[in-house]
Amino acid sequence: MKRSGEVSIRTLMAASMASLISVFILIVGALLSIFVSGAIESNAMESTSEIVTQVNNNLSTYISDIIDVSDYARELARTTSNLAADEIKMRLEALINSRDDLVGIAAFDMDGRTIISTSPLPDADPEDIASSQWFRRAKDGEGDIFFTGPHRSLESEDFVISYSTIISYGDINRAASPAILLIELNFNAIAELSESVHLSRTGYIYIISNDGDIVYHPKELQLSEGTLEEDLGSVAEHIYGSYFSSFEGRDRLTIIQTVEQTRWRIVGVAFMDELLEPLKPFRITLALILVASVVAATLLSNSISKRITKPLRKLEMDMRKVQDGDFSITETSGGSAEVASLSQSFQIMIRRIEDLMEEVRKTEAVKRQRELDALQAKINPHFLYNTLDSVVWMAETGNSQGVVKMVTALASLFRISIAKGHDTITLKEELAHVESYLDIQSMRYKDKFRFEIDLPKELENAPTIKLIIQPIVENSIYHGIKYLQDEGLIRISAREGEDGTIVIAVSDNGVGMTPDVLSTLLDKSSERKHITDGNGIGIINIDERIKLSYGERYGLSIASEPDEGTTVEITIPHLPPIQPVVMKS
């Protein structure tokens, strides 16, 4: 509730317009940066597209030039009756010698036999030629022109691009015969066209066929060696146009255009970090302007912020005192209504923390008292007297093995019982303590009962508070098996329960108990809550120790039927394994 004399923090913040101005400046700067970035990006795309278009036009011009060469060879083929074959070959060789991009020119009949060639083809098998892709495409293309590549040259092992088409071989005085014209091209002209432009500092242009195979790539050597990969997958998804993608950790702009007459596609790749490099000086300048503006706004609002933050600093100091354990904070912080309300809530929280700490102290005191009760009641003098009496009796009768066995079991029993400073031991040690106790009792009662202990290996090092099983076993002997006429059986087993628990079951075939008696065993309000087992540790005591140590969901559960026996289940959490803590003698 707002009191008189207190000023709203919202009113104080109205005077701090510098903060709003700073936010406004940052927003304007961000919008300006976005606008300029978009403009530079758009210009980069446009200029890159124009470069790819220019290369495409130059490549189309070059293709047209190759077609002119084809037309020249076609006319020579039609005049074979007027020109000797050597004359035609000489003219074709002169054409090849005048250009460094032409590798060879040849003509073949429809069965693949050589008609004429600028270079000897001694190893040219007509069947191999007829089955070549360039031959089949020209033969089945019904007069269309075809560019195929790359493939090995007929004259050497070098890779070339081939131009093939159907021509008429003969003159007007006789029927023309169809033939396949082949012009082999190297990559010199295409390389010059592609490498003469720069899309970005490291950008490049390459050419792929209609089938998606690379026809030319400036980094062909790296591709063949496997040190470089090309993003052909995204190119296959984008038949034409431009798109942005990321490949091998770099953002790139890819522009795809179709080369006329060849069914090829020219692909331009430019890297965005290089295209947008002009943004760096702009952003640095803009950042400096923004920083200067924010600093000015901060200095302007400094005096106002002092007034706003003074009570908050006082509240912070009070919180630090509480953090250091000093709860003697009685004065609330001044300032705005919101800060005063927060200070009052902080005072209430301090009082609540003190109350909770007091409850924790009381709970810990009860827990420690329970533990002290358990430690004080570890050794039952009556049990010790009877055990030593049995040792004396066996010694007098010469039963030295029995004496050794009983004394050894008694020593093992005491070793765990008096292991100070270790209230948590392994489940294996706890059951070893129980086994020692059962060994002693079975000898004292002259094998009136037998026992079984089943502990899975994976649970041997699971931690548990000690002395929670032996008192229950002692109850089974004194209140269940002791009154049997037949041999008794005590079975102890451990297993993994549900939801990360361990369940330890202690069962006997003793006389059992009635439902009325059973219902009072774990009832703290019952008159039987002070009834203890043979060594003075009560059933309720054990249940409370488990709950205090692990929580309310853990503890004891008892099932029993008259003349059928009793089963006590102990539920504890399945915690990470620990190392054995009891020293061996």
pLDDT one-digit tens code per residue, 219-270: 888 887 888 888 888 888 888 888 888 888 888 888 888 887 777 888 888 8
375 or 104: which leads in pLDDT: 104
Cβ within 8 Å of residue 271, ≥6 positions away:
200, 201, 202, 203, 250, 251, 252, 253
pLDDT tens, residue by residue, 341-353: 777 777 778 778 8
What pLDDT sits at residue 377? 52
Picking from 418, 505, 436, 430, the residue whose alpha carbon sits closest to that of residue 466 is 430
What pLDDT sits at residue 1? 45
Lowest model confidence (mean pLDDT) among 350-359, 428-437, 505-514: 350-359
Domain ranges across the chain: 17-300, 306-370, 377-573
Mean residue pLDDT of the chain comes to 79
Bridge-based pairing state of the strands 264-271 and 250-259: antiparallel
What pLDDT sits at residue 394? 77
What pLDDT sits at residue 504? 96
pLDDT category at 125 given cuts 50, 70, 90 is confident
What pLDDT sits at residue 494? 96
Domain formed by 377-573, architecture: 2-Layer Sandwich (3.30)
CA distance 132 to 448: 100
What pLDDT sits at residue 329? 66
Residue 536 has pLDDT above 50, yes or no: no
What pLDDT sits at residue 582? 59
pLDDT category at 537 given cuts 50, 70, 90 is low
Surface-to-core class of residue 425, CB atoms within 10 Å of its CB (0-12 exposed, 13-18 middle, 19+ buried) = buried
Exposure class string for 340-376: b at 16+ Cβ within 10 A, else e: bebbeebbeebeeeeeeeeeeeeeeeeeeebbebbbe
Cβ within 8 Å of residue 106, ≥6 positions away:
114, 115, 116, 117, 118, 119, 121, 154, 181, 182
CA distance 64 to 258: 15
Residue 83 has pLDDT above 80, yes or no: no
pLDDT tens, residue by residue, 486-510: 889 999 999 999 889 999 999 999 9
Residue 374 has pLDDT above 60, yes or no: no
Domain formed by 17-300, architecture: 2-Layer Sandwich (3.30)
Strands (DSSP E) found in 191-327: 204-208, 214-216, 241-247, 250-259, 264-271
Share of the chain above pLDDT 90, in %: 11
Residue 446 CA from chain centroid, whole number? 63
What pLDDT sits at residue 451? 93
Q: What does the block give as tokens for 555?
A: 């503890």
> How big is the chain, counted in residues?
585
Exposure class string for 487-515: b at 16+ Cβ within 10 A, else e: ebbbbbebeeeeeeebbbbbbbbbbbbee
Q: What is the mean pLDDT of residues 313-334?
A: 68
Picking from 414, 407, 369, the residue whose alpha carbon sits closest to that of residue 388 is 407
Q: What ranges in 490-560 are assigned the alpha helix state H?
A: 515-520, 539-550
What pLDDT sits at residue 566? 94
pLDDT tens, residue by residue, 1-21: 445 455 545 456 555 667 777
Cβ within 8 Å of residue 438, ≥6 positions away:
451, 473, 490
Lowest model confidence (mean pLDDT) among 97-101, 175-179, 515-519: 175-179
pLDDT tens, residue by residue, 556-572: 999 999 988 999 999 99
Residue 456 has pLDDT above 90, yes or no: yes
CA distance 268 to 423: 75
